[in-house]
Structure 1
Amino acid sequence: MKRLRSETHSLDEIDARLLAALEQDARQPISELARLVGLSAPSVSERIRKLQESGIIRSFTVDIDTKALGYPIGAMVRVRPLPGKIHLVEKLIQEIPQFIECYKLTGEDAFFAHMLVRSVEEMDDVLESLVDHAMTYTAVIKTTPVKRRLPPL
């Protein structure tokens, strides 16, 4: 059963260093993490377990090169549902596999979604599937000058 966090977990310097090391490579052996932070392997295992239980570490992920998978085009799409269509648009975005991430926002544009496609034609087809229910504003991603990273610890 997943424990809910009732308060903010305070991190010490070792927790922060562990998170930074895991962010770089979550597959590092416990022995290597222990060496990096100057603790024993059992101590590091216990700290990681506590970080998971507190909800700070939710999962260990893989960094995939989407271009190598055949998705050379990434785009960010602002989505403004038509009146009364917000729940339908949210469901459509969830069901369209080309949307790999989506944020629900305040303001006129209710959603900000990250899309991956194989071609401009595929992008047009995906956006066309929303046209009866929402207005979209699309910007193609050129580069990623800031990769996903940890917040200041």
Structure 2
Amino acid sequence: MDEIDRKIIEALIGDARLSLKDLAAQAGLSSPGVSERIRRLQDRGVIRGFTADIDPKALGYSLQAIVRIRPLPGKLHIVQQLIQDIPEFCECDKVTGEDCFVARLMIPSIDLLDGILDRISDKAETSTSIVKSQPIRRRPPPLVIAGAGSD
């Protein structure tokens, strides 16, 4: 990945709806040149998609919780499927350590928390923390690895 690719990616991170003309101007290339670069970045898996950033609160989800989940013996795959099937779980990481999963749960009110967790409680132990604020929202990693040169 060279400096032009980084410029394109930074511009798309700022606004994924930029026109090819605007991207070309920022990258110092022609529109077809930018289009080809974007296609190559997608083919290499650097750009996985273009998404909308949705505010959960605007949809009525005023609370977020981080749930650490430890499946009971022999229940790992069942618990993983249950988490996938519960739409209020918007993210889940399979992790090392005592817990197998760390998941982010979106809920409209605290009253619904127990009902959602009860759907997995007979197959896993859970530990839940309510999110007070999010000082760093999900963001991409740096486009240049510290101490590494560019291609």
Mark yes or no: TM-score above 0.5: yes
The structural deviation recorded for 1:140 is 1.1
Secondary structure, in 3 states, of the residue corresponding to 1:68?
helix
Counterpart for residue 77 of structure 2: 87
**Is residue 75–residue 115 contact of structure 1 (8 Å, CA) maintained in 2?**
yes
> Aligned to 1:105, which of 88, 92, 95?
95
Counterpart for residue 6 of structure 2: 16
Counterpart for residue 148 of structure 1: 138
TM-score by length of 1: 0.90
> Aligned to 2:118, which of 128, 134, 137?
128
The structural deviation recorded for 1:119 is 0.8
Name the amino acid aligned to 1:133: K
Q: CA RMSD in A?
A: 0.9
Name the amino acid aligned to 2:45: G
Counterpart for residue 127 of structure 2: 137
Secondary structure, in 3 states, of the residue corresponding to 1:100?
strand
1:44-123 equivalences under 5 Å are 44-123=34-113
> Could you give the per-residue CA deviations for residues 85-128 of structure 1, whole angstroms, max 9, x where no partner exists?
11110011010010011111122200011110011111111111
**Is residue 75–residue 140 contact of structure 1 (8 Å, CA) maintained in 2?**
yes
The structural deviation recorded for 1:76 is 1.0
Structure 1 unmatched ranges of 5 or more:
1-10
% identity of equivalent residues: 53
Counterpart for residue 26 of structure 1: 16
TM-score by length of 2: 0.91
Aligned length: 143
Matched, 1:37 2:24: no
**Is residue 89–residue 130 contact of structure 1 (8 Å, CA) maintained in 2?**
yes
Structure 2 unmatched ranges of 5 or more:
144-151
Name the amino acid aligned to 1:73: L
Runs of 4+ in 1 over 4 A off after TM superposition: none
**Is residue 20–residue 150 contact of structure 1 (8 Å, CA) maintained in 2?**
no
Write the distance in 2 (CA, Å) between the matches of 1:95 and 1:130: 11
